[in-house]
């Protein structure tokens, strides 16, 4: 029994590896590129790996390519091509495997050797062989920025759509959706690099995952990628959503071309804030009625005092502050003119007057933003405090010489 196990162990450790080596010796791996030279950045290059077996191929092997620095490599989802050849007078049969290689930078690309896993008829691994490493020189055409999303193809089309199509009557919180569709010959959607979508302050950008829809007709690949982004407007104002550009190298014309989605100007208007004077008016009317009916003398006193209050600087200032809080520039200006009549000299209010007149009467009236409102209020209080301090009587520095009881 022991001698039987020893013989089995000797077979496993010696005979099987020797058989795998024999199988590997009967396999030829060839690598080639198309185009073999003259490729440019972003161009589709076909990497062919031919695996040939002497006399018989038990089962198609598994073929893989390691990472290529500076390039994107993809295995094309197509059936491998059957090959027949004679090498050294011997008959060989095998298959050709195709990979798509897209250079992302100029210079020399180092392509590692293909890894080939050999299988028997049952699908079990019988060995591994390698192809040959390769290099490819990639050119950067004049006028092409290698850091951008460049594509090299025979034809490219970029389409842009907005939803809603008419961006009018927008208010804070509303959104518009931008859709960019790129179609290129010989370039799958996965090989089209991301476009850059930016927005000015006050606008948020939300990008959805891209959608790829490739087609192969009569052996010709047509790649299609759809990008969709949503712009959400947080504040009122006028915004310019920048254009997006897809530069590409026309392989037929040998020229730089551009696909462009044009910019869009959007105006967002804040809704007017309603003014509710009903409750204060009703309460005031009730108080006046009670005083008039119950206290005739108090009514007379109150009437005189109320008239003085209505004509006072304090009342004019209170009305002005209340109007500022409601963001009605026309009402603010009227209250400002009334209050300005109490200020001596009125020239100290020139900066505030200019701010209001520009917002109300300018050729392109500016939006009255919360920042404008707060800045106006702060300046208003400072001017009034300076005016009040100037009007206050100055106490004498020394007590009177002859104080009276």
Please report, in tens digits, the pLDDT of each residue of the chain (405 residues total). 555 545 444 444 444 444 444 556 789 999 999 999 999 999 999 999 999 999 899 999 999 999 999 999 988 666 678 999 999 889 999 999 999 999 999 999 999 999 999 999 999 999 999 999 999 999 999 999 998 889 999 999 999 999 998 888 899 999 999 999 999 999 999 999 999 999 999 999 999 999 999 888 887 889 999 999 999 999 999 999 999 999 999 999 999 999 999 999 999 998 877 766 677 778 877 777 776 666 677 667 778 888 888 888 888 888 888 888 776 778 888 888 888 888 767 677 777 777 777 777 776 655 667 777 788 788 888 888 887 777 766 555 566 666 665
Q: Which domain, by its residues, includes 159?
A: 151-268
pLDDT at 320: 80
Structural Rg of the chain based on CA atoms: 41
Count of CB atoms within 10 A of residue 233's CB? 22
Q: Are residues 155 and 263 in the same domain?
A: yes
Supply the pTM of this predicted model.
0.58
Structural domains in the chain (count): 3
Nearest to 39 by CA among 125, 141, 160: 141
Non-local (6+) Cβ contacts of 105 within 8 A are 41, 70, 71, 138, 146
Give the relative orientation of helices 329-340 and 350-361 as an angle to the nearest 10 degrees. Answer: 150
* Domain presence at residue 16: no
Alpha-helix runs per DSSP H in 62-117: none
* Domain presence at residue 221: yes
* Domain presence at residue 294: no
Q: Are residues 112 and 33 in the same domain?
A: yes
> Are the C-beta atoms of residues 108 and 137 closer than 8 Å to each other?
yes
Q: Are residues 157 and 261 in the same domain?
A: yes
* Domain presence at residue 242: yes
224 - beta bridge partners? Answer: 183
Q: Are residues 158 and 258 in the same domain?
A: yes
pLDDT at 324: 80
Contacts of 348-357 spanning 24+ positions with Cβ under 8 A: 348/383, 348/386, 348/387, 349/383, 351/379, 352/376, 352/379, 352/380, 352/383, 356/329, 356/332, 357/333
CATH classification at residue 239: 2.60.40
Q: Are residues 158 and 255 in the same domain?
A: yes
pLDDT at 10: 47
pLDDT at 395: 59
pLDDT at 261: 95
Boundary residue ending a domain (213, 247, 268): 268
Q: Are residues 55 and 131 in the same domain?
A: yes
* Domain presence at residue 279: no
pLDDT at 77: 64
pLDDT at 21: 45
Boundary residue ending a domain (268, 303, 335): 268
* Domain presence at residue 100: yes
Q: Are residues 160 and 263 in the same domain?
A: yes
pLDDT at 15: 42
Pick left, alpha or beta for residue 222 (phi over 0 → left; psi -120 to 50 → alpha; otherwise beta).
beta
Q: What is d(CA 82, CA 104) in angstroms, rounded to the nearest whole number?
A: 31
Write b or e for each residue in 220-230: b if 16 or more Cβ atoms lie within 10 A of its Cβ, otherwise e. Answer: ebbbbbbbbbe
* Domain presence at residue 291: no
Q: What is d(CA 279, CA 285) in angstroms, rounded to the nearest whole number?
A: 10
pLDDT at 375: 81
Q: Are residues 42 and 125 in the same domain?
A: yes
> Are the C-beta atoms of residues 343 and 387 closer than 8 Å to each other?
yes
> Are the C-beta atoms of residues 53 and 94 closer than 8 Å to each other?
yes
pLDDT at 17: 43
* Domain presence at residue 15: no
pLDDT at 286: 79
Count of CB atoms within 10 A of residue 138's CB? 22
Query: In the Cβ-directed half-sphere of 362, how many Cα atoms lie within 13 Å?
Result: 13
Q: What is the DSSP string of 124-157?
A: -EEEEEE---EEEEEB--TT--TTS--EEES-EE
């Amino acid at each position: 029994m022991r001698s039987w196990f020893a013989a089995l162990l000797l077979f496993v450790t010696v005979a099987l590896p020797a058989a795998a080596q024999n199988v590997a010796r009967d396999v030829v791996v060839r690598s080639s590129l198309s185009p073999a030279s003259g490729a440019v950045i972003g161009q589709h290059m076909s990497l062919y790996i031919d695996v040939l077996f002497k006399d018989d191929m038990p089962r198609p092997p598994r073929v893989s390519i390691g990472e290529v620095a500076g390039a994107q490599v993809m295995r094309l989802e197509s059936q491998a091509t059957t090959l027949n050849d004679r090498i050294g007078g011997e008959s060989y049969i095998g298959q050709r495997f195709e990979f798509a290689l897209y250079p992302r930078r100029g210079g020399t690309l180092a392509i590692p050797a293909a890894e080939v896993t050999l299988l028997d008829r049952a699908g079990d691994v019988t060995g591994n062989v390698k192809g040959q490493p390769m290099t490819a020189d990639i050119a950067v055409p004049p006028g092409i920025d290698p850091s951008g999303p460049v594509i090299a193809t025979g034809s490219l089309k970029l389409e842009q759509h907005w939803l809603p199509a008419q961006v009018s009557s927008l208010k804070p919180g509303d959104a518009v959706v931008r859709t960019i569709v790129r179609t290129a010959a010989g370039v799958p959607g996965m090989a089209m690099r991301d476009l850059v979508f930016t927005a000015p302050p006050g606008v948020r950008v939300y990008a959805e995952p891209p959608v790829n829809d490739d087609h192969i007709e009569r052996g010709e690949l047509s790649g299609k990628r759809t990008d969709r982004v949503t712009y959400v407007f947080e504040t009122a104002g006028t915004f310019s959503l920048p254009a997006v550009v897809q530069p590409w190298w026309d392989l037929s014309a040998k020229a730089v071309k551009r696909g462009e989605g044009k910019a869009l100007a959007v105006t967002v208007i804040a809704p007017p804030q309603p003014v509710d004077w009903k409750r204060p008016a009703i309460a005031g009317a009730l108080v006046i009625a009670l005083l008039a009916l119950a206290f005739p003398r108090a009514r007379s006193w109150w009437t005189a005092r109320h008239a003085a209050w209505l004509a006072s600087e304090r009342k004019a200032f209170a009305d002005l502050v209340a109007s500022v809080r409601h963001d009605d520039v026309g009402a603010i200006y009227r209250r400002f003119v009334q209050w300005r009549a109490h200020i001596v000299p009125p020239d100290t209010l020139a900066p505030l007057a200019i701010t209001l007149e520009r917002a109300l009467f300018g050729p392109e009236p500016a939006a009255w933003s919360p920042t404008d409102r707060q800045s106006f209020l702060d300046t208003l209080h400072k001017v009034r405090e300076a005016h009040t301090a100037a009007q206050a009587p100055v106490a004498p520095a020394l007590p009177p010489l002859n104080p009276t009881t």
